[in-house]
Amino acid sequence: MEWYDRHARALPWRVPPAERLAGVMPDPYRVWLSEIMLQQTTVAAVRDYFLKFTTRWPTVQDLAGAADEDVMAAWAGLGYYARARNLLKCARAVTRDHNGRFPDDHATLLTLPGIGPYTAGAIASIAFDLPHVVVDGNVERVMARLHEEHQPLPGAKAVLTDYASALTPQDRPGDYAQAVMDLGATICTPRNPACGLCPWRSACRAWEAGTAAELPKKAPKKRKPIRFGIAYLARRVDGAMLLERRPDSGLLGGMLGWPGSDWIEGDPAPAPPIRAEWKELPGEARHTFTHFHLRLKVMTALVPMERPPERGEFVDADMFDPNDLPTVMRKAWALRG
């Protein structure tokens, strides 16, 4: 904690240690929003999105009242779009069922959409200073090295959580949780840990054994399959672009994107959304999801004003912004040159 009080990272969702010691409590809304955004994403990637969201929707009630399509567009590029859908569901549940205030107990937090054990622990600990264990990838790494735990992840998650729980103090548990995260992010890093600067070096069994750099161990990853698909970029003569909103369930749920074929491990069947003379662009849009690699063939066409689409709807040129599209859709757009 002495190390954290001197070296805490300055993050837009965090109350600095000096202010926290002076009695300033974190805003649960900002803690929750940052934790949802940080799932499977880096601090560097999240920072600008967090500032954009909190400027546009400074309270949970503001976010609850936002239009779905505005929130999904603001989220575009951050990935894992189920998080954005649950973000809205949770904001509306807090506003509707809890008078716009996040519950201050772990059990009730778990009843909110999109909040699992980790996020509930983080909110309870950081926002309300309750002694709940918080274990992210940084904490797992610190615990594995501190205890020289050689059992590989993900099987070691339970024992690493037990280690972290045993160390969680009653005093300043929220700052402690952030201190261990910062230690993992800045000193106990995945590669080349700076053990000489670590405040826990004298207690670290991996440092003593010389095994810090090889921990935590991880089970071999399964090979990801490759799926193929076709994306159709239709431009109307007035400049409007043909877009289609994806189903709420599944990948990129609820997001606007290019109409296209199914994504399969084989040759996809053509599925043009409008009758046109389609031309294939050179190259392909490549993107990696959690469970597979995707390769999209991109077809383009110019269509007349009077021709209606079979799927999707045209978005006027002055309303179309490719930056509002998910990353894979932006990659397809970029192939136009």
Query: For residue 332, what are the contacts with CB-CB under 8 A and spacing of at least 6?
Result: 231, 233, 258, 285, 296, 298
pLDDT tens-digit profile of 262-272? 999 999 999 99
* Residue 8, token pair as written in the block: 């805490």
pLDDT tens-digit profile of 85-121? 999 999 999 999 999 999 999 999 999 999 999 999 9
* Residue 206, token pair as written in the block: 């991996």
* pLDDT score recorded for residue 324: 87
Cis bond leading into 154, ω under 30°? yes
Query: For residue 59, what are the contacts with CB-CB under 8 A and spacing of at least 6?
Result: 29, 100
* Residue 211, token pair as written in the block: 């095994």
- Please provide residue 315's backbone torsions phi and psi, each rounded to the nearest 5 degrees: -110, 125
**231 close to 297: Cβ distance less than 8 angstroms:** yes
Domains and CATH numbers, the chain: 2-214 (1.10.340.30), 226-334 (3.90.79.10)
* pLDDT score recorded for residue 252: 86
pLDDT tens-digit profile of 264-304? 999 999 999 999 999 999 999 999 998 999 999 999 999 99
Q: What is the mean pLDDT of residues 41-54?
A: 94
Q: 250 pLDDT exceeds 90?
A: no
* pLDDT score recorded for residue 187: 97
Would you call 19 a catalytic residue per the annotation?
A: no
- What is the rounded distance in angstroms from the CA atom of residue 31 to the CA atom of residue 14? 8
* Residue 288, token pair as written in the block: 């990696």
Q: 53 pLDDT exceeds 90?
A: yes
Residues 35, 140, 149, 284: which is the catalytic one? 35
